[in-house]
Homo-oligomer: A and B are copies of this chain.
Amino acid sequence: MKKNTDKEFKVGICGLGTVGEATLMLLTGENSNEIRHRIGASICVSHVATRTLKPELTKNVPCVGTDPFVVANDPMVDIVIETIGGYDPAFELIKQALANKKHVVTANKALIAERGNELFEMAEENNVVLAFESSVAGGIPIIKGLREGLAANKINWLAGIINGTGNFILTKMTEEQRQFDDVLKEAQALGYAEADPTFDVEGIDAAHKLTIMGSIAYGIPLQFNKTYTEGISKITPEDISYASELGYAIKHLGIANSSCSGLEMRVHPTLISKTQLLANVDGVENAILINGNAVGSTLYSGPGAGGDATASSVAADVIDIARYTLAGSSKPVYPSLGYQLRHKNIQVLEIDDVETEYYLRIPAMDEVGVMAKISSVLQAHGISIEAVIQKEPVSEVVPIIILTHLAKEKNMVLAMQAIENLEEVVGDINRIRVESF
């Protein structure tokens, strides 16, 4: 790694959106003195590249322009912060900065999850740090916790509420018994959800973050395309209410689980016991519960998004790089994804082979013998029942709620098809997985 002798680190910020602007304020504002006391050196924002110039924000920054590659190519810059987002030009920009042997800090979860393997390889070749704490769970230092704090553990599993938009919607649906579409509109009005909410509500954003955490937890390459993803748009207030009656809350979780047949990586709505701390993490908050074989379960919660919270993690990465450098490290202290030696024989399971418990809501005619028929279909597929709720009918159709014991997904899919083919069953089954941590 480059030596730094003048005790000042020159940082260039590329992208002045919400996170970039907050990072600029954090590194140059009232906290800069505290940061200097912690590091024993100063962080100086020497460059800003922004599509739209914002002179009121950058009046104390010596080099301001619109081309981020100027930042990546300036020999003066020690650390490039990429807060542009998206794939293009962020990918080429990071590559250029790494090729120039500059450390890079990014908040770009999509880019890290989908193209991180190539970037980390390049960082390693150039002996520089590519840091990404802010890419998962915003202000919560979860990458550090997992990669460093829990480094002596085999990770049995982790489960996280890692999309604030989704958690906000589910919380509102729970507290106010409202429909998904209705709450989504409110979230959009409040700026918590995008005009096109697909990334958040269909679980893609959560899958990006889970992919990153899974890689660090298990020493495997980033494999976004193997992460199973299911959104929350089919959850109804009725499901939430039945789950509650059974002692569960519904949360949208990213789960990585080391089972005996392989590694599970999956994002989906999940019933979890209301007695779990995780079940009580509400609104836009994020939280990750990690189970290690030595420590047991530890939980990390806090703001998973927002400019200032995310900037806190971006700046922490910058501070770490300054500290490594000042300690005279000749190469990065931590392997980016937590492992110097990768595990080569760990396979991510297809969702078909994943075993969980299930909640089923089956819309059926109120006729004698329907429950017997459903039970026998489940039994024929090797699925046993743990609990049933069958209410007094208020119309001809009555929902039958079933909690099952552990069942393999492929058996459940077949059983659901067979149940939906019963003549007494009058609509699609709503199926939600259940986890007992």
Contact = CB atoms under 8 A, between A and B. Distances in A.
Given A144-B148, A152-B318, A295-B312, 13 more contacts: A31-B293, A31-B294, A38-B339, A144-B144, A144-B149, A150-B312, A151-B320, A277-B281, A294-B311, A294-B315, A296-B303, A296-B306, A324-B329
A327 B333 contact: yes
A139 B329 contact: no
Contacts of A335: 38, 40
Contacts of A306: 296
A341 B340 CA distance: 33
Contact of A145 (B141, B309, B311, B323): B141
Given A36-B341, A152-B35, A298 B296 contact: no
Interface string A325-343: 0011111111100111111
A57 interface: no
Contacts of A327: 324, 329-333
A24 to B, nearest CB: 12
A401 interface: no
Interface of A: 22, 26-27, 30-31, 34-41, 133, 139-141, 144-145, 148-154, 219, 277, 280-281, 287, 292-303, 306, 308-309, 311-313, 315-316, 318-320, 323-324, 327-335, 338-343
A41 B335 CA distance: 13
Nearest to A319: B151
Contacts of A154: 30-31, 34
The 4 lowest CB-CB distance pairs between A and B, nearest first, are A141-B149, A40-B340, A298-B302, A152-B315
Contacts of A330: 327-328
Given A299-B302, A312-B295, A340 B148 contact: no
The oligomer's copy count stands at 2
A263 to B, nearest CB: 14
Nearest to A333: B327
23 contacts: A26-B152, A31-B293, A35-B151, A35-B152, A37-B219, A37-B342, A38-B151, A139-B296, A141-B144, A144-B144, A145-B149, A149-B313, A151-B315, A277-B281, A294-B308, A294-B311, A295-B303, A295-B308, A296-B303, A324-B327, A324-B333, A327-B329, A328-B330
A303 B39 CA distance: 31
Given A152-B315, A280-B277, A316-B151, A295 B35 contact: no
Contact of A316 (B36, B40, B152, B312): B152
A146 to B, nearest CB: 9
Contacts of A39: 340
Contacts of A219: 34, 37-38
Given A329-B329, A340-B38, A295 B302 contact: yes
B312 A294 contact: yes
B139 A298 contact: yes
B301 A298 contact: yes
A262 to B, nearest CB: 17
A331 B109 CA distance: 33
Contacts of A341: 36-37, 40
A293 B145 CA distance: 21
A305 to B, nearest CB: 11
